[in-house]
Structure 1
Amino acid sequence: MIHANRCAAWTVDDLLASQDWIVTLDDRAAADLARAVRKAADPDKTLFDYTRSDFDLGGADAPIRAAMKEVRDGTGFAVLRGLPRAALTEDEFRLLTWAIGLHTGVARPQGKASQFLSAVRDAGTVYRSAGGRGYSSNADLDFHTDGADVVLLTCYNVARAGGESRVSSSVTAHEMLRAERPDLAALLHQPFYFSRQQEQAADEGPFYPNPIYDERDGLLFSKWNRNRLRSAQAIAGVPQLNARQHEALDLLDEILRRPAVMYSMYLKPGDMQILNNHVTLHSRTEFEDHDDPALKRCLFRLWLAPPDGVALPESWRPAYRSVEAGSVRGGIVGQGYDDARRGFEARQAAELGMRLAA
């Protein structure tokens, strides 16, 4: 198997040797973003009322596009530094995240409430529960992929301690698996079953099948979330994992955390981390938050279907609904998916020349 994008098979040493994956905005670009958000902000508008034309990214447009190109064709992730955090309120920074998304793809819903933009903060969620979600807890998270092609995470406030971000290449992990245990690597190309964490839409079941790895057009894709796999084991109709499957999954998680494979970083206020979920996996360490509500850890998470998204393996269809290149796909449709959301998707897809899923 030859992977067409060799840059996605990186190690920590590779990232340290070449830092093309870090893109920094200059002062003019940051000022352009702050100006665009302040000009467009309207308290009477919902996120779905805004359009791309409301936000002139100015000097930030080219660096943002460079970061997105790195995510698609390079390492599979990028850090965009220098967003105007100090110049904006929390609500304005949230809107800035949305504005960047309007210029780079179609936002995807993220949960039971069909929210298209999530605040990543400790809301007391129990991560390891039937309906648990990591973004609303302070827990140490398993390595996982999110449910869309690309995830953008913008940092507004950091925790008092902890909350370190970790990223590993799923392509590198697969190469190591094949070299060390080809029998177990082959198992990960077979279907596994994942819980929808009680957030399924009316036309969806409580779980879905998806291999951990699959291929299409010379590209390797990964999808992995141990928490959802563990939850699915308690759902009627889900086949129970056997010993060899457990062994394969345990080895994958061990490889992902090896020092040569796992890159660790602390996001700073004004940073945006962008991840290609098909070739990277990410996690986060447990954190201890501030007592002052104004200082508590806060990031904003946006899931995107980009207009230049490649075709996905057919086995991704139960999770993504569409696997065609350049289509609006992925996300957690949830139970609040209404006409306002449908209308937003149709308008944004038309602006970007993308196809809506059937």
Structure 2
Amino acid sequence: MRHANRQAAWSVDDLGADCGWIRELDDAARRDLTAAVRKAADPAKTLLDYRRDDFDLGSAWPIIQASLHEVRDGTGFAILRGLPRDGLTADEFELLTWAIGLHTGVARPQGKASPFMTAVRDAGTVYRTGKGRGYSSNTDLDFHTDSADIVLLTCYNVAKSGGMSMVSSSVTAHQAMLAERPDLVELLHQPHYFSRQQEQAADEAAFYPNPIYDWRDGLLFSKWNRNRLRSAQAIGGVPAMTARQHQALDLLDEILRRPGVMHSMYLRPGDMQILNNHVTLHSRTEFEDHDDPALRRCLFRLWLAPPDGVGLPESWRPAYRSVEAGTVRGGIVGQAYDAARRGFEIRQAADLGMQA
């Protein structure tokens, strides 16, 4: 029976009525995290050299776990406030983000250079091109999902102005479309073609098929990134989109930005945002950054495959490589994936009782 992830079908009013998706670390938890990072930090190690047991997260871990449960079984996203930002350098804060990730799942590569951790900052890239990526630009972004089960984003510095984060429920959007234009909803359950933005691995094509929505075991899943669909239209072999497909996607984007559907927030230094990419879509407004490099907007992003990940629709296999529950899947493998990265995945999966 299709029950469509009831708790994930929220409205802005629902979030205001029940703030269980927001949690805050207390002073003891912050001290435990700071101590964990400083005890484990080793300048001779890369991030891939660390193991989960190197970091005792102490009293912070149950609070983090509660946020993760909300992401998996509740609204599909959570905000955790109060990470020890002021007491840590940027490098230490990045290591803290990695430590939380080691307790949460297996990190997934995120692009052409196969990085497992990404610093989200303006590097001057152009987003809406055949190889553009939003995280390294300062422009406003389309609503999209990232290429992993979970995205974990920690905030170190904020912009001078702008950079507001927006989240909408893809389940709520589907319900709205079903009520208003069921004929267009059917189109979103058909394959669409996503560009790999010239970051494909040697065994991958330049594009892949994936529906915007699909079902498995009574759950509704979404995958959406209009920039990648737009880019794919310039790739040989990709079918041209029809006028009705464009109409369906236009309506989806319009619904996602409705005031009752879209929740807007500014992440603050020390905030961690966690998103379930299967039931939420997210975006960001344009921002103006500081002149001082030490103050410029900086967040750290992890894509994760958690050990309690549910089974995915078969149609997700071209993007995720595996759709079985609890497996290491997703990410953008990229073009620098090597034995060291594979070794990390195997060790981390074993530490979490997962199949690599």
Deviations 1:326-352 (A, max 9, x none): 000000000000011000000010111
SS of the counterpart of 2:59? helix
Contact residue 109 and residue 334 of structure 2 kept, 8 A: yes
What amino acid is the match of 2:348? Q
Who is 2:55 aligned against? Answer: 55
TM-superposed deviation, 1:23: 1.1
| RMSD, matched Cα | 0.6
Who is 2:336 aligned against? Answer: 336
TM-superposed deviation, 1:4: 5.2
Is 2:240 aligned against 1:264?
no
1:204-353 correspondence runs (5 A):
204-353=204-353
Who is 2:80 aligned against? Answer: 80
What amino acid is the match of 2:343? G
SS of the counterpart of 2:210? strand
Contact residue 2 and residue 217 of structure 2 kept, 8 A: no
SS of the counterpart of 1:2? coil
Matched-pair identity in %:
80
What amino acid is the match of 1:7? Q
What amino acid is the match of 2:112? K
Give the length in aligned residue pairs: 356
Contact residue 9 and residue 75 of structure 2 kept, 8 A: yes
SS of the counterpart of 1:58? coil
Deviations 1:184-236 (A, max 9, x none): 00100000000000000000000000000000000000000000000000000
The 2-side partners of 1:136 and 1:44 are apart by 28
Contact residue 5 and residue 171 of structure 2 kept, 8 A: no
Who is 2:119 aligned against? Answer: 119
The 2-side partners of 1:29 and 1:248 are apart by 46
Who is 2:200 aligned against? Answer: 200
TM-superposed deviation, 1:355: 1.1
The 2-side partners of 1:319 and 1:240 are apart by 20
Is 2:186 aligned against 1:176?
no
Who is 2:108 aligned against? Answer: 108
The 2-side partners of 1:193 and 1:53 are apart by 41
TM-superposed deviation, 1:43: 0.9
The 1-side partners of 2:298 and 2:337 are apart by 25
Task: Output the TM-score relative to the length of structure 1.
Answer: 0.99
* Shift >2 Å, 4+ stretches: 1-5
TM-superposed deviation, 1:3: 2.5
The 1-side partners of 2:33 and 2:45 are apart by 19
Contact residue 4 and residue 171 of structure 2 kept, 8 A: no
SS of the counterpart of 1:355? coil
- Structure 1 unaligned blocks of 5 or more: none
